[in-house]
Amino acid sequence: MIERLRHSDEGQTAPMSTILKVADFSSSAWYGKSRRKEIPGRRGPKCTHSDEEVLKAIHKILQVPVFYGEGYKKLKKRLSYQHIIVGKERLRRILQENQLLQPSRPKPNGVSRQHTGTIKTPAPDQMYGLDIKEFRIQGVKHYLFSVIDHFNDEIHAWHVTPRADRFAAMEVIRQAVMKRFGSVEQGICKQISLSVRSDNGSQFISKDFRKELTFLGIHLSPAFVRSPECNGIIERFHRIINEQVFMIYAFESINQAKEVVGEFIRKYNEQWLLHRLGLISPIEFRNEFEKRTYVDIVDVASEISLKENNENRERYSDSTSVENFLKNCLHN
């Protein structure tokens, strides 16, 4: 109506303020009117892949999973490996609509002794975790000894045995030291101040085991009695391998168990995504750390070399000036 009042039959245009005054309208009746064109569809950036394409890629991952029971955040990371970028809330919605969302774990009720402390290991080979996991082969008890690095949750050594004694504990420690340092000679770990965190099992408090650690130059860091949280990193790994291996496979022999456990630990080190590491694997995290450390060492070495060159240049210029001064004195 305002447009009709504004344009007269003679082709003349009246001021808008006059039109609004005559029509008894407020200025917001005109200036508040939206003049933007309506954009069909949802506003914001457009998705590269539709929900159907994302769901199809999810089904492919779940048909041949790397690990069982991964949540939507880890699925988001694995989709990115296929160049499928999807928001976590959108992915969560797609999984929920198709009844594919992994159920969340129940929250613990708490323990009598709260573990409020934390161990932050800033570099590799400073704190190892050692523990035993029991499983069965044809109904007979067998044991898995594992050594994990607190820095990046990487498994350095493991040992499957029918006997959970001090000699098995010594064997897995030697394997870890040999893998990381290439030798088990006396005092090999003394210079780096390596510690091993374990519980108070009879294997780990025995004289032979302690003597072996002393020989290698390793400090024993026992956890509090009845406080598995103090050795929580290796305890967490043993829950993972229990869910991914021991609860699924029915082993026929110890050789089969060693083969399956070895393959799983290899995949774990290379592909298991840890939230505290930024959803990358233990080996990826260590490689990135070593790369950053190498760059820092090169930068420091370059600064030292540049400083030494400047000092030598100043020393050379000083000696040259003294030599010229003596020549001038002799000439005069």
Nearest by Cα to 196 from 179, 165, 226, 174: 174
Q: If you average pLDDT over residues 227-247, what whole number do you get?
A: 93
pTM for the full model?
A: 0.76
Q: For residue 37, what are its two tokens? A: 């064109």
Q: pLDDT per residue over 119-145, tens digit each?
A: 688 999 999 999 999 999 999 999 999
Judged against a pLDDT cut of 90, whether residue 22 lies above it is answered with no
Per-residue pLDDT at 33: 59
Q: pLDDT per residue over 161-195, tens digit each?
A: 999 999 999 999 999 999 999 999 999 999 899 99
Q: What distance in Å separates the CA atoms of residue 89 and residue 54, rounded to the nearest whole number?
A: 13
Please enumerate in sequence order all residues whose Cβ is within 8 A of that of 123, keeping only pairs 6 or more positions apart, or say none: 151, 289
Per-residue pLDDT at 273: 96
Q: pLDDT per residue over 273-287, tens digit each?
A: 999 999 999 999 999
Per-residue pLDDT at 326: 46
Q: If you average pLDDT over residues 52-60, what whole number do you get?
A: 94
Q: For residue 4, what are its two tokens? A: 């009709």
Per-residue pLDDT at 271: 96
**Cβ atoms of residues 195 and 212 within 8 Å:** no
Q: Which conformational region is residue 217 in: left (phi greater than 0), alpha (psi within -120 to 50 degrees), or beta?
A: left
Judged against a pLDDT cut of 70, whether residue 101 lies above it is answered with yes
Confidence of residue 296 (pLDDT cuts 50, 70, 90): confident
pLDDT, the chain, mean: 84
Cα-Cα end-to-end distance for the chain: 108
Please enumerate in sequence order all residues whose Cβ is within 8 A of that of 215, keeping only pairs 6 or more positions apart, or say none: 186, 187
